[in-house]
């Protein structure tokens, strides 16, 4: 059974001015997401600035989210690392704290061979019992899971159940679904490719756009899954300018700027991320206005 179907939000981590995590604000955001129809919370992903969290902060943010959500919707913990040992420790902690699933990004910087990926993911998932979604985003990690490798892992490791596909390569996604014979939960990792991945057998998205438009993204996916493909496709196309604006600088710079423009007060970014350039802010502001967010 899938961890979730529909739109999961890759939620931002709100910060105070001193760059500590703002848990009061995170609590507000979780409630707004649930009220807006979001189908799952993905905490401590790329959008959540996990790369600049300490391990203690990482575990605390996951624990806090699980406690506040209280099983109303699934909580998926981003516990991937380029160090297998660290990923195991974070994953075991998240399981102990009650996470419904894990999101495991490919190892970054040191990368890995395909055999190395098999060893890495097998070692992590053998230490926990909760299901795991593998995260393929080679543009950020420099390390791609090949379709054959993913098919092997899904077949051999019981609790590897899904993939967040953000390669941008539709042919690659089709090969994954062919080799896995549909026995994998496919989630789009790109907001501008949700409907194309649904058409190949996907069941949802792990979304940046959901931070600012949770109901819209939820409806776009559920309409498709309910058979209203024409309306879902129209919503996907209408959202393209907004998606482009949210990625006109490296994520999560634009989405945090967007939330702040909406008065959500999610605070600053941790270095080396910087505040959005003024010219890009205007692009973002126009897209948000046209999309009905401002």
Q: Would you call 32 exposed, middle or buried from its count of C-beta atoms within 10 A (0-12, 13-18, 19+)? A: middle
Write the pLDDT tens digit of every residue in 211-243.
Answer: 999 999 999 999 999 999 999 999 999 999 999
Taking Cα atoms as reference points, which of 56, 136, 127 lies closest to residue 96?
127
Catalytic residue list: 135, 164
Q: Supply the pTM of this predicted model.
A: 0.97
φ, ψ of residue 40 to 5 degrees: the values are: -165, 150
User: Which domains are assigned to the chain?
Assistant: 6-226 (3.20.20.70)
Sign of the four-CA dihedral 12, 44, 203, 71: negative
Tens-digit pLDDT profile for residues 86-116: 999 999 999 999 999 999 999 999 999 999 9
Q: What's the pLDDT at 86?
A: 98
CA 172 vs. chain centroid, Å, equals 19
Q: Which tens digit of pLDDT belongs to each residue from 171-183?
A: 999 999 999 998 9
Residues 6+ apart with CB under 8 A from 126: 157
């Amino acid at each position: 059974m899938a961890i979730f179907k529909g739109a999961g939000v890759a939620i931002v981590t709100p910060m105070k001015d001193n760059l500590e995590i703002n848990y009061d604000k995170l609590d507000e955001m979780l409630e707004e997401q649930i009220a807006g129809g979001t189908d799952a919370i993905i905490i401590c992903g790329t959008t959540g600035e996990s790369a600049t969290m300490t391990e203690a902060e990482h575990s605390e943010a996951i624990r806090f989210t699980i406690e506040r959500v209280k099983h109303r919707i699934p909580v998926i913990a981003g516990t991937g690392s380029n160090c297998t040992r660290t990923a195991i420790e974070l994953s075991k902690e998240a399981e102990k704290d009650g996470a419904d699933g894990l999101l495991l990004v490919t190892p970054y910087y040191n990368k890995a061979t395909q055999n190395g990926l098999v060893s890495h993911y097998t070692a992590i998932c053998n230490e926990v019992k909760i299901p795991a979604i593998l995260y393929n985003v080679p543009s950020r990690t420099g390390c791609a899971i090949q379709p054959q490798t993913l098919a092997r892992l899904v077949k051999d490791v019981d609790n590897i159940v899904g993939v967040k596909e953000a390669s941008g390569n539709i042919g690659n996604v089709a090969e994954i679904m062919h080799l896995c014979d549909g026995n994998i939960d496919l989630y789009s990792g790109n907001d501008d490719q949700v409907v194309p991945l649904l058409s190949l057998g996907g069941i949802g998205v792990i979304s940046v756009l959901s931070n600012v438009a949770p109901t819209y993204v939820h409806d776009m996916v559920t309409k498709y899954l309910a058979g209203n493909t024409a309306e879902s496709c129209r919503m996907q196309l209408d959202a393209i300018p907004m998606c482009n604006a949210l990625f006109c600088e490296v994520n999560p710079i634009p989405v945090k700027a967007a939330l702040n423009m909406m008065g959500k007060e999610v605070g600053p970014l941790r270095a080396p991320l910087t505040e959005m350039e003024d010219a890009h802010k205007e692009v973002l502001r126009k897209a948000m206005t046209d999309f009905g967010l401002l």
